[in-house]
Structure 1
């Protein structure tokens, strides 16, 4: 299974015993949207709902940090996602939250994980069937395992300011990155990590919400000054759209890319971290 699958592919594969479809929609605060209610009102048939708001480390001072492996495995088992499952993710979120779910599943040991290109919006636009209510699958074993080699901490990003072994690429919009626009979270400074480059996650998509082809994704990074021959750390507001950049990099075959999970929420809240703005 490719890491990006089409609606046509999914329609043809539906009903396969090892296939698991997951709605992992999460909305930004203030949108007034309820992802679970939207899922129950209409979802891809057979899809279960992954509550990303629950998949965090509640012991960490920064919001939305990656959960412990045992917690993640437990939640996947209860959804019916297990070892050997082929997992297809989709969302209906402005911030493309299926990429965050993809990153976590890969990090915690799932091998066959894909994102539905265009999400449920494309599925609906094509007039494909929807199901209502809540789907429940029998529990399956999901081995608790973790490889955080492609996760970076604040301390590592601070050290990288001097060593500059990895390029930091920020997925936020240009106004947020430059500091022209204030951060929406109270107590968070404006601006960006010094030396970081800006590739808004939206630059990776076509107008219809599908991902650009390899040439288009490559151009989005190179136009922003990213050297694709060198390692990358992605960052954003709270570690969600940074995963979109990671998925895009994976689509073009770049594997030496890591997530700064705390992202600007952690960096901007610390009065001691250096911050930059662009006039």
Structure 2
């Protein structure tokens, strides 16, 4: 299974015993939308609600931090997700939040994970069937969660990188937030960005129909942002969600040496001791 699948592919695969479809819709804090309510009102047939907004380490005061092995395994068991299942993830969010779910599943050991190109919006625009309510969950999944910690960059790693410049940091937030011209959605955070980082708003990796750019068009998006795909990359954003879209886009181009700064700006911007820059990259 490819890491990006079409609506045609999914429509033909629905009902296969080893296929699990997950709704990974999540929104920024303060967004007046309820992902669970929207899932219950309409979802792809058989899709399970991942509840991505709560798939984090609740004991960590930073938002959206990677869950522990036990926490992740518990969520997979509750959903009946097996490590060898074919897992297709979609969302219905301006954040394209399926990217975060794809990354989490990968770093915890899922072997076959894909994102549905265009998400629920494309599925419904094509007139494909949906259903309401909770989908039935199977109990045949077995998932041994073992997080690949090498996929995660810490604040200490990013601070050290300011000196070494071994990796390029790329920020997925909007240009106005990156420049420091717009207030952050979480209280207690400074405006601006990590010094020396590039800015590539994650929506620029999608075309006008909300599908992923590929090939030369995708590479051009990175080039236009000044991202050097020959260097190791650390992706950042507000809280580690849309940064995963940058990682997914790089993965579509075959780029592997990419980490997520999981604390992202919610950690960096809240720490008065970290250096901060404003203005364009």
Q: Return the TM-score normalized by structure 1.
A: 0.98
251-260 or 76-85, which deviates more = 76-85
Tell me the secondary structure at the aligned position of residue 60 of structure 2: coil
Question: Deviation digits for residues 84-132 of structure 1, max 9, x if unmatched?
Answer: 1000000001101100000000000001000000001000000000111
1:204-225 residue CA offsets vs partner (Å, 9 max, x unmatched): 0011110012211111111111
CA RMSD between the two structures = 0.9
Contact between 2:29 and 2:186, CA under 8 Å: does it hold in 1? no
Confirm or deny: 8 A CA contact 1:78 1:138 kept in the other structure.
no
Distance in 2 of aligned mates of 1:22 and 1:115: 10
**Which residue in 2 is equivalent to 1:235?**
236
Runs of 4+ more than 3 Å apart: none
Q: Are the equivalent residues in 2 in contact too, given 1:194–1:275 (CA < 8 A)?
A: yes
Q: Which residue of 1 aligns with 2:277?
A: 276
Q: Distance in 2 between matches of 1:185 and 1:48?
A: 29
The match for 1:70 is 70
| Native 8 Å contact 2:27 2:95 kept in 1 | yes
Single out whichever of 113-122 and 23-32 deviates more from structure 2: 23-32
Structure 2 segments unaligned to the other structure (5+ residues): none
Q: Could you tell me the TM-score, scaled by structure 2's length?
A: 0.97
The answer as to whether partners of 1:92 and 1:119 remain within 8 angstroms in 2 is yes
Contact 1:193 1:275 survives alignment (8 Å) = yes
Q: For 1:1-279, what aligned pairs fall within 5 Å after superposition?
A: 1-139=1-139, 140-278=141-279
Say which SS state the counterpart of residue 269 (structure 2) adopts: helix
Per-residue deviation, 1:11 = 0.4
1:17 & 1:61 partners in 2: Cα distance? 39
Asked if the contact 1:168–1:197 (Cα under 8 Å) also holds between the matched residues in 2, the reply is yes
- Deviation string, structure 1 residues 45-87 (Cα, Å, up to 9, x no partner): 0100001122111121211101001110110111011121000
Cα distance in 1 for residues equivalent to 2:91 and 2:198: 27
Taking the aligned partners of 1:185 and 1:40, their CA distance within structure 2 comes to: 28
Preserved CA contact (<8 Å) 1:173 1:200: yes
CA contact (8 A) 2:28 2:185 kept: no
Q: CA separation in 2, counterparts of 1:31 and 1:150? A: 29
Unaligned runs of 5+ in 1: none
User: Aligned equivalents of 2:155 and 2:113: distance in 1?
Assistant: 28
Shift, 1:239, TM fit: 0.5
SS of equivalent to 2:248: helix
